[in-house]
Amino acid sequence: MFQEDMYRILGKNIISKCLICESSELEMAWKKPPNSICANCGFVFLSLLPERLKVRKYYKDSPFSSGSAYHEKINEGLINNVFEVLEKHITPFSGSVLEIGCGRGDLLARLLQRGWDVTGIEPSLSSSRSALKKRLNVHTSLLEEVHFKSNRFDLVICISTLEHLINPKESLNRVRRWLKQKGLLYIIVPDAFGRPFHRSDLEIVEHVSHFTTNSLKYLLSVCGYDTIFVNKDKRKTYIQVLAIKSTGPIMNKIYASEYKKSLSRVNRQKAKNETEKKRLNRIIRAKIDTWIKQKSKIGIYGTGIHTYYLNDIVNISKFPCYYFDSDPVKRKLKIFGKTIYGPTDLRKLGIEKVIISSEAYEQEIYDLIERSSKNIEVLSLYNKCGKM
């Protein structure tokens, strides 16, 4: 059910032209899920076009969609960081703002406090409900299905959203119409080849576009924006860009010939991912074998995209494991045909060993397990807790 849940957003139509430069010279970048690389500009993107109706339903009510999880994770640190950049470039610091993929509306609420006229778009029903409770003006919809007057906003914010959009170019053109003259567009996207091991991010079906700094700048210039600020975080996980609505589309040749660089990145990343998968397979298999010999009760904590990745590495669904998730919405669902339990069930079921399959919540889950029982042995997929 879980894999189907992710893959069901894909249609059968192959994307035949590059999403940025429209060249039809495309090559396969990797197979699972199918991704293409443009032999002209080097842009890497999903080969199968997600279907809008399926995408809408998926983001609206799928508890497995990663979008809502990321947006729940918009924390004080990130909000402060966003404010720092925006305040530096916008004086006086006020106007009308639209946030695309506003999640629970934490950022918009802060902007509202500062006197901004705020509007949000959020396809996830549960997230948009939280935003509406904050008395924010939020459209529960996809970007492609919302209409605003031209020249409506001074600022558009798009955090961890652009990479999910079915047609990034069309979307940015739409946004450009909504922006006032010299209006600003603030974007954060994952750096597709930035971090040491990108792991599951390249394998998320939800990610239609895999941006690099140059491909994002190229897309922006093609859609009629001038990039005025670019930054990466310390871990090189994300690219942060501030762009201004320019007078018209400028085909910027500087970014148009990235193919060779992009191809070598793809190949390097594929090799790294394979090495990492083999390494994890060795470690996790050895652990599971020992645990099974000891007749221990094994729990897998987390039932999101990383559990799918874990299954890809060791075929976890074949082993006798119990599945756990902190999200109460998942309590009535199943993963790999098995019940999903809540945190209080760890003790009730007498779980002795746990593999954490979550990235953003790894530390929280680790702390939660520690509180639940001191005797549980923990192995974490991403090892941020230093337990592997």
Within a 10 A sphere around the Cβ of 19, how many other Cβ atoms?
A: 24
Binding positions for Zn ion, rule: CB under 5 A: 18, 20-21, 23, 38, 40-41, 43
Contacts of 333 by beta carbon, 8 Å cutoff, 6+ apart: 1, 63, 303, 340
CA distances from 154 to 105, 177, 270 (A): 18, 11, 41
Considering the complex, state which of residue 21 and residue 356 has its C-beta at the smaller distance from Zn ion. Answer: 21
Considering the complex, state which of residue 223 and residue 288 has its C-beta at the smaller distance from Zn ion. Answer: 223
Considering the complex, state which of residue 20 and residue 100 has its C-beta at the smaller distance from Zn ion. Answer: 20
Tell me the closest approach of the beta carbon of residue 218 to Zn ion, in angstroms. Answer: 8
User: How far, in whole angstroms, is CA 169 from its chain's centroid?
Assistant: 18
Cβ-contact 245, 172 below 8 angstroms:
no
Tell me the closest approach of the beta carbon of residue 261 to Zn ion, in angstroms. Answer: 13
* Cα–Cα dist 352/3, whole Å: 27
Considering the complex, state which of residue 43 and residue 178 has its C-beta at the smaller distance from Zn ion. Answer: 43
Tell me the closest approach of the beta carbon of residue 356 to Zn ion, in angstroms. Answer: 38
Tell me the closest approach of the beta carbon of residue 203 to Zn ion, in angstroms. Answer: 22
* Cα–Cα dist 342/265, whole Å: 40
- 3-state secondary structure (DSSP) of residue 142: coil
Residue with tokens 């983001």: 59
Tell me the closest approach of the beta carbon of residue 43 to Zn ion, in angstroms. Answer: 5
Tell me the closest approach of the beta carbon of residue 41 to Zn ion, in angstroms. Answer: 3
Cα–Cα nearest to 99, from 88, 110, 89: 110
* Cα–Cα dist 6/164, whole Å: 13
Considering the complex, state which of residue 38 and residue 107 has its C-beta at the smaller distance from Zn ion. Answer: 38
According to DSSP, the residues that pair with 139 across neighbouring strands are 121
Considering the complex, state which of residue 41 and residue 138 has its C-beta at the smaller distance from Zn ion. Answer: 41
Question: Is the torsion defined by CA of 214, 195, 124, 101 positive or negative?
Answer: negative
